[in-house]
Structure 1
Amino acid sequence: MGCVGSSQTKGDGNAKKIKKPKPWKHSEPITRTQLMQMRDEFWDTAPHYGGRKEIWDALKAAAEADLTLAQAIVDSAGVIVQNPDLTVCYDERGAKYELPKYVLSEPTNLKRES
């Protein structure tokens, strides 16, 4: 089973290639420390949202890697990428994984530590 648009064909000709997320702005300027805390809290609680822990671990590794390595990680884990920026993905069993933009990139209004 897969999702709409997924394919069971050989090769990855139909697989979506990962792209950098679009620039985004947090509701108020935050520091790098605050951003890291938000990310840590998300990854600590992510498995409680459903899905398999190994897929969450693969998505975390992909979110922290450069694009080439991230692509290899999601491909080898069998992750079906719905949105090229990794904000919505599925596993091979059809479980949905949603990643907030703050775990994938930095906001445009990141402020310096005081």
Structure 2
Amino acid sequence: MGCAGSSQAKGDGPVKKIRKPKAWKHPQPITKTDLARMRDEFWDTAPHYGGTKEIWDALRAAAEADLTLAQAIVDSAGVIVQSADLTICYDERGARYELPKYVLSEPTNLI
């Protein structure tokens, strides 16, 4: 017999499958170079928002992977997905991780 808190109990509900974020639009047209710069700045500063570097690294890998690999990454890292598009996640200790849509997908007005 194991401890009820040692793993996800059946009553906790199913593991949330991740999906691509809904289409979004940047306030002004943006180039791929500017989008890449914004993403790099976010990932460089993300550990300063709290949580652990290991989870931030796993979230970055998941954000840059296809959906199947992303699901495997978050599952193996123990990430608890609050929003199926990965915009809000938690680690097993309860630390919250918020990802902006621009690190998860491209805007509709990309130039």
Quote the Cα distance in structure 1 between the aligned partners of 2:66 and 2:34: 22
1:45-60 map, 5 Å: 45-60=45-60
Unaligned runs of 5+ in 1: 1-6
Find out whether 1:100 has 2:104 as its counterpart. no
The amino acid across from 2:38 in the alignment is M
Match of 1:4 in 2: none
The amino acid across from 1:88 in the alignment is I
1:7-86 map, 5 Å: 8-9=8-9, 14-86=14-86
Tell me how far 1:25 sits from its aligned partner: 0.1
Number of matched residues?
104
TM-score (normalizing by structure 2): 0.90
Quote the Cα distance in structure 1 between the aligned partners of 2:98 and 2:22: 16
Which secondary structure state, in structure 2, belongs to the residue aligned with residue 25 of structure 1? coil
Quote the Cα distance in structure 1 between the aligned partners of 2:84 and 2:8: 19
Quote the Cα distance in structure 1 between the aligned partners of 2:80 and 2:62: 13
C-alpha root-mean-square deviation of aligned residues, in Å?
1.5
Which secondary structure state, in structure 2, belongs to the residue aligned with residue 48 of structure 1? helix
Quote the Cα distance in structure 2 between the aligned partners of 1:15 and 1:62: 16
Deviations 1:54-85 (A, max 9, x none): 00000000000000000000000000000000
Tell me how far 1:104 sits from its aligned partner: 0.1
Q: Report the identity percentage.
A: 83
The amino acid across from 1:26 in the alignment is H
Tell me how far 1:92 sits from its aligned partner: 0.1
TM-score (normalizing by structure 1): 0.88
The amino acid across from 2:42 in the alignment is F
Tell me how far 1:9 sits from its aligned partner: 2.1
